[in-house]
Amino acid sequence: MRSRLLVYALASIAVLFAAAQTNQWPVHNDDYTDAIQWDHYSLSVNGRRTFVWSGEFHYWRIPVPDVWRDLLEKIKAAGFNTVSIYSNWAFHAPNNHTVDFETGARNIGIIFELAAEVGLFVTLRGGPYVNAETTAGGFALWTVNGAYGELRNDDPRYTAAWTPYFTRLNEIASKYQLGKGGTMLLQQIENEFCCQRNSDGSLNTPLVDYMVSLQNNTRDNGVIVPLITNAPNQNSKSWSTDYLPGPGEQDIY
């Protein structure tokens, strides 16, 4: 009886395996690089299936570059293979004529270099809005006085405000991405942002144009890794090809 059950079990496994082989989930890339692909299950990095196991590292909360290596080594030693980095517009642009990614703890190139040396992939989450339970969600504080509109839309005043910061961030990030000598694996645009469409299904044009502008800035400044996004809650729709394709969509939710 036991041997018969074993035969049935093995036969069932064989059927399931054959079905899996003939019904593969499609493999995607972002049309900019084949080094990073994904399917229904995970990413694939340079042809190797890779599960992203990530910790967070908010350098602007620990503005002492001398301790960064130790912290990243601890993340690696804890079993993580990736570190997620929120940038912070307010930290890098204390006024409306300054963008600083070079001095002291504002030099994020150091983090990318250390991550590569330690053996960690990097996900960059550059905003402009990041939330991260920080003041004004990481917005440069000089933007929240009403002079730049409601923010997080296609208002030309807001666009002119975020462009210098976001351009410089992307220029730096492009030097450290996978395939270009670094380990940046993914880049997130905006954070917990809703909604691509109105309740009647029509496009929410001011928000869509904003996301398209962010995406274009990222690509125009050399970033080739997949772009990701997230939703603010379970009832909102994501801006991605996975759930709701359309203008402003990102590669992965």
Residues 42, 186, 230, 57, Cα dihedral to 10°? 110
pLDDT at position 4 is 52
Inter-residue contact 103 to 91 (CB < 8 Å): no
d(CA 147, CA 162): 13
Q: How many CB atoms lie within 10 A of CB 91?
A: 21
pLDDT of residue 233 exceeding 90? no
pLDDT in tens, 162-183: 999 999 999 999 999 998 889 9
d(CA 217, CA 207): 15
The pTM score is 0.88
pLDDT of residue 80 exceeding 90? yes
pLDDT in tens, 32-72: 999 999 998 999 999 999 999 999 999 999 999 999 999 99
pLDDT of residue 124 exceeding 60? yes
Element at 173 (helix H, strand E): helix 156-173
Take residue 27 and report the two structure tokens written for it. Answer: 């493999």
d(CA 142, CA 132): 19
pLDDT at position 15 is 45
Q: Which of 12-26, 60-74, 158-172, 181-195 has the lowest mean pLDDT?
A: 12-26
> What mean pLDDT is reported for the chain?
89
pLDDT at position 7 is 44
Q: Which residue has the tokens 């509109």?
A: 149
Beta strands across the sheet bearing 36-38: 36-38, 43-45, 48-50
Greater confidence (228 vs 6) lies with 228
